Structure 1
Amino acid sequence: MIKTKRIQQIKEYVIQHQSVSLDDLVTTFGVSKNTIRRDVQKLVEEGHIQKVYGGVAANHARLESFHDRQTRNQLQKRWIAKDAARLVDDGDVIFIDSGTTTLEMIHFIKEKELTVVTNNLDFIVQALPYTQLQVISTGGQLERKTKSFSSITNTNDVLQYNFDKVFMASTGVSISNGVTNSSPVETSMKEMVVKKGREVILLVDHTKFNKYAMLTYCQLDEIDYLITDDSLDTSYTTFFKKNQIKWIVAPSQDESQQTLT
């Protein structure tokens, strides 16, 4: 069997069974354990599967509560948000996605004259004191676990807006599966927002790479900027250069000792 075809079949087999042992893969595909280990390693590096004790498992990111996500890597998220805010100009019409990293942008854009469309409940609440921010909610059903508004019936309302910049969050990012999300009811809105953004900026910390969730809302080559908190693997930098995507690693060296406000 051709190597690329075998690797694809291994991926499909693991996803179908959720978790399998290496011995099972050896038996099923009729190759040596060393060959299986090499094939598995390639799939792990591409973000399709993950190694677990005694074998491998499908690498589906789960939908965590907003609180659990907010308390993890909080300082890194604040740095990412600060660099994202530098891309915002007075007078912009922007979209702020639901997410713990995108929420942090409120600290750095609160003095700007902006129109902000958002499905992020906490952003709406925190923006209340800042009258120069014109905040428009997407409306719909409140998803308590993610503290965001979503609605399958109201997603077409987003199409009326022409966004200068959209700031997006993601549960997992990989070259093969693109930018992914765990919530089916949020995905349609995210897809439309990306299409309506003049510039698409993705905010993700280092824990999101080489992972994917249940649904892809855009391919990686549809974004214009990626802002993260750690250096990128060469597979990503090569991909970004090829597709003319800018990437920013926060914080820059000259800021790493500064205090965030």
Structure 2
Amino acid sequence: MLPERRHQLILRALREDGPSTIVALAERLGVSAATVRRDLVRLDEEGLLTRVYGGASPVSDRDEPFTDVATVRVEEKDAVAARAAALVKDGETVLLDIGTTAHRLARRLHGRNLTVVTSNMAVYEELADDAGIELVLLGGMLRREYRSLVGFLTEDNLRQVHADHLFLGTSGVRPDGRVMDTTVVEVPVKRAMIAASDRVVLLADSAKFPGTGVATVCGPDALNTVVTDAPVDERTAAALGEAGVAIVRATAAALVD
């Protein structure tokens, strides 16, 4: 069994059954306790579970439902979305992450000649009737309250596509430039999106700096551009600059069509 598949099964077992021992996980997966122990170390380092004596426990999923987040910092998200839309050229393939800012970006893509790939159900519903856009909806397990598709099917689909731009969401950006997320089950999908894209643009309003999150999505070296509505704090800006990441400022003027 491939390590990636084992990791998925371990995380699923912890989500479904709660804390578990190494022995129980080894029996469930049909592998050695030593293999499970190495897997737990790796997943703990990535923030996807918490190691405890003799086993592991799940990380709590502290994200808020899509409808709640959609009403927060609307003006700032709109400015970020408008500025990000200006980075897209007709004829390109665009990959849109889950989240409310990506949905607001989708609203700015109407009438464009584009291919849009997404696991964001709100983006799908926004663009479904736009005849000028080739819309690709990734498969997977539906998380209804969060309007997203996740799981190994989503990740497998992403291995079959290639995008010019990924517009990535985040729960927060650490001062060292690491992109974080609180939605643990969506982190593997975000990583697969990064791998499928030529350029990665992080959509992050000023509330995300400096940010928090239980799981690391990627380091600053995986990013090309950060679009935000306000100056980034000095330490984070330095970390992004060292990694060669361009910081693009969105202003209220970007909201003018």
State whether TM-score is above 0.5: yes
When Rg is computed on C-alpha atoms for both structures, the one with the higher figure is: 1
**Deviation of residue 177 (structure 1)?**
6.9
CA deviation vs aligned residue, 1:163-192 (integer Å, no higher than 9, x gap) = 100000011111347111222321111101
Look up the match of 2:44.
none
Unaligned runs of 5+ in 1: 1-59
1:116 match: secondary structure: strand
Runs (4+) of structure 1 exceeding 4 A deviation are none
Look up the match of 1:123.
123
Q: Distance in 1 between matches of 2:105 and 2:222?
A: 22
**Deviation of residue 62 (structure 1)?**
2.8
Instruction: Please tell me the root mean square deviation across aligned C-alpha atoms, in Å.
Output: 1.9
CA deviation vs aligned residue, 1:198-230 (integer Å, no higher than 9, x gap) = 110000111112222121111122100001111
Look up the match of 2:165.
165
Q: Are 2:179 and 1:182 equivalent residues in the alignment? A: no
* 8 Å contact kept, 1:62–1:213: no
Q: Which moved more, 1:241-250 or 1:82-91?
A: 241-250
Q: 1:203 to 1:243 in 2, by over 3 A?
A: same
AA aligned opposite 1:190: K
* 8 Å contact kept, 2:95–2:117: yes
Q: Distance in 2 between matches of 1:237 and 1:150?
A: 31
Q: 1:214 to 1:83 in 2, by over 3 A?
A: same
Look up the match of 1:15.
none
Q: 1:106 to 1:177 in 2, by over 3 A?
A: closer
Q: Distance in 2 between matches of 1:200 and 1:107?
A: 19
Q: Distance in 1 between matches of 2:163 and 2:116?
A: 9
* 8 Å contact kept, 1:202–1:223: yes
**Deviation of residue 61 (structure 1)?**
8.9
1:165 match: secondary structure: strand
Look up the match of 1:136.
136
* 8 Å contact kept, 2:83–2:250: yes
Q: Distance in 2 between matches of 1:159 and 1:227?
A: 26
* 8 Å contact kept, 2:228–2:249: yes
Matches within 5 A, 1:69-148: 69-148=69-148
* 8 Å contact kept, 1:62–1:182: yes
Residue identity (%): 25
How many equivalent pairs are there? Answer: 198
**Deviation of residue 138 (structure 1)?**
0.9
